[in-house]
Amino acid sequence: MRLFPSPKAALSVHHLAACFNSTSATYKFYWLLAILDALQNQQREISKKQLFASMLSNAWYTVNYFQVSFGPQDLIQSTVRQLKDIEGITIDEQKARIQNRLIQSKNRDTLKLLVHFDNQVPHRFLSPWYPKKNKREIYLLSQSGENQPIYQLYRDKIIVPDSWFEYLTKHIRIIRDYVYWNLSLFLQARNPNVPDIPNKLIKPAMRNTLVKQRKFWDYVIDKNGPVHCIYTGKELYKGQYHVEHFVPYSFVSHDQIWNLIPSDNAFNVSKSNKLPPLEKYFDAFYTLQELAIETYLADRPNEKLLEDYFYIGTDLQQGLSKEKFYDVINPLITIASNNGFEYLY
């Protein structure tokens, strides 16, 4: 994926592309996303505090909800988690509210965490324009406009020149996609077994409804009578249960039927995104899935949701193998645990 060339010969777009050539942390990705957010609001002169707050608010959902690892050298992940507790912000708060909360905060610990990034990001991002120059030199050269940098760098702010403002705002969508594409590659390399990294970078405007999946389980209950919640043992009747992700949605990032079962309403709310210990719950989970498959194969073998089982390597005509199903679920639970998801106790 490439950036659009600049119609102005003096505008060095190749330097912008080079910013991500050598990265050991996510700082540069989130720094540029923060700049683009400000430019979208027609800001050319942007305070560093606003940009640092924007960086962290952009990473908030990826860190706190999806538990994606940023790598051992990256302080954005640990900073976001600290700020969640310091400021008392929920994991699924809206990005704009998180940013405003951080900008307006007077908490000394919050301010200290924000200022930390001043030594890591603003001048280093300009390295392609000023190779082998130190921090002080980069500040002075950017202010003079030498080499047409993407911004001029000052103690507490940056200023985007007219030429770059015009280019960035004109191509803001493709540039933002370019950043997310590179960020996806960076994070996928550090999370090789975590599914669907690209869709874990932005909080979705709205989660998908589970209407079709509920109808799937309604039919199972219609044909077999009430089923039992695998967690509480409570009898579950049609229309009186929640459709629950066995492996949390915040890890698998999909609504495929092989990972969904009916559960007690109250328990599902309290379970949140915790992991079910397989030694306690897998047998009951498998039995419920097996009942659903046998019911549909007997009466509705062409049910479209049965195709979901294809994605875990299951040929339903040969039945649902308990051993193969476990071999799919067990690594997902293990990897999720390694990424910071907690177990049910």
Indicate the SS3 state at residue 58.
Answer: helix
Q: What is the pLDDT of residues 168-223, one digit of tens each?
A: 999 999 999 999 999 999 999 999 989 999 999 988 766 778 999 999 999 999 99
CB atoms within 10 A of CB 238: 15
pLDDT at 9: 46
| Rounded-to-integer distance, Cα 137 and Cα 142, Å | 8
Paired tokens of 30: 């989130």
- How large is the C-alpha radius of gyration of the chain? 25
| Rounded-to-integer distance, Cα 164 and Cα 151, Å | 8
E strands along the chain, which residues?
45-47, 152-153, 157-159, 227-228, 235-236, 242-245, 260-263
Please report, for the chain, the start and end positions of each structural domain, with discontinuous segments joined by +.
13-200, 211-338
Indicate the SS3 state at residue 235.
Answer: strand
What is the pLDDT averaged over residues 68-77? 90
Closest CA to 255 of 296, 321, 311: 311
pLDDT at 53: 97
Q: What is the pLDDT of residues 224-267, one digit of tens each?
A: 999 999 999 999 999 899 999 999 998 998 899 999 999 999 88
Closest CA to 93 of 122, 67, 64: 64
What is the pLDDT averaged over residues 286-301? 93
The residues pairing with 275 across neighbouring beta strands, listed in sequence order, are 343
CA angle 48, 51, 53 (to 5 degrees): 110
Question: Residue 2: pLDDT band by 50, 70, 90 thresholds?
Answer: low
Range of lowest pLDDT (3-7, 23-27, 278-282) = 3-7
pLDDT at 10: 63
Q: Which residues neighbour 254 within 8 Å (Cβ) at sequence distance 6 or greater?
A: 195, 196
